[in-house]
């Protein structure tokens, strides 16, 4: 937790500084400078969340913060038993800070966005008849995406959709000392074939894509 506190503090300060409007500029008429939105993809996998964004500099730039959770179970769910160890999952919560620059003013159209996601999840392990041991793991996910914001042509264009695509780096290393978070995977859905023992977590680059739906206010 000590290593994550400076990161969170830095991003909140960064967002605060960027959010100070330039008083020498006048916003275009009818441009609302606040938005609320959700990711259709994240909602589809059960991640309850909301994202707030602030539009600045005549709609040329925008920063946002997202908070969300998968919820938490009182007991362990999705338990896998491997040899004499059991592994389970309890829940997760996270946040994402973002900063974007539009190609043109007006907070619409093509944009480039930098993001930093931080997720904390609780998993556990236990040996035979011993008690469960809770483990907190943090996942770091910086990314850079290109997207397009389209204001829907009704209700004064208050509602919008925005797809984006890019690349991100994920650091997810769930372990408790010498014990790693293991699981069983059955990709072929064939009950006659044995499950494959896998090691949860990942470190590396990969695609990052999203579909956000929201409204201005």
Band of pLDDT at residue 5, cut at 50, 70 and 90: very low
C-alpha angle with apex 18: 14 to 19, nearest 5 degrees?
115
Q: 81: helix, coil or strand?
A: strand
Tell me the average pLDDT across 178-207: 81
Q: 11: helix, coil or strand?
A: helix
**Count of C-beta atoms within a 10 Å radius of residue 40:** 13
Mean pLDDT taken over the chain: 86
The pLDDT of residue 192 is 53
In terms of residue numbers, what domain contains 137?
4-216
Instruction: Give the 3-state secondary structure percentages of the chain, helix then strand then coil, rounded to 5.
Output: 10, 60, 25
pTM: 0.78
The percentage of the chain sitting over the pLDDT mark of 90, rounded to a whole number, equals: 69
The pLDDT of residue 17 is 45
- Flag whether pLDDT at 180 surpasses 60: yes
* pLDDT digit string, tens, across residues 81-127: 998 899 999 999 999 999 999 999 999 999 999 999 999 999 999 99
Name the residue with tokens 């850079």: 144
Under 8 Å between Cβ of 33 and 204: no
Tell me the average pLDDT across 59-74: 95
Return all residues near 208 (Cβ < 8 A) that are at least 6 apart: 115, 143, 145, 165, 166, 167, 168
Kindly report the backbone phi and psi dihedral angles of residue 5, in degrees, each rounded to the nearest multiple of 5, phi listed first: -60, -45
**Count of domains in the chain?**
1
CA proximity to 123, closest of 180, 69, 68: 180
């Amino acid at each position: 937790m000590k290593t994550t506190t400076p990161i969170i503090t830095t991003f909140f300060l960064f967002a605060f500084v960027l959010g100070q409007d330039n008083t020498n500029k006048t916003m275009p008429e009818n441009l609302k400078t606040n938005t609320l939105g959700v990711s259709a993809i994240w909602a589809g996998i059960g991640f309850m969340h909301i994202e707030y964004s602030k539009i600045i500099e005549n709609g040329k730039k925008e920063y946002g913060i997202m908070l969300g959770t998968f919820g938490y179970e009182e007991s362990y769910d999705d338990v896998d038993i491997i040899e004499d160890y059991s592994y389970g999952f309890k829940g997760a919560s996270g946040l994402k800070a973002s900063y974007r620059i539009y190609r043109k003013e007006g907070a619409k159209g093509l944009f480039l966005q930098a993001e930093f996601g931080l997720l904390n999840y609780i998993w556990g392990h236990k040996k035979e008849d011993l008690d469960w041991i809770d483990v907190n793991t943090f996942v770091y996910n910086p990314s850079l995406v290109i997207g397009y914001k389209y204001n829907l042509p009704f209700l004064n264009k208050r509602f919008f959709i925005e797809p984006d695509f890019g690349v991100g780096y994920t650091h997810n290393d769930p372990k408790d000392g010498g014990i790693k978070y293991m699981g069983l995977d059955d990709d072929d859905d064939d009950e006659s074939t044995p499950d494959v023992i896998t090691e949860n977590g990942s470190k590396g680059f990969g695609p990052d894509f999203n579909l956000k739906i929201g409204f201005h206010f």
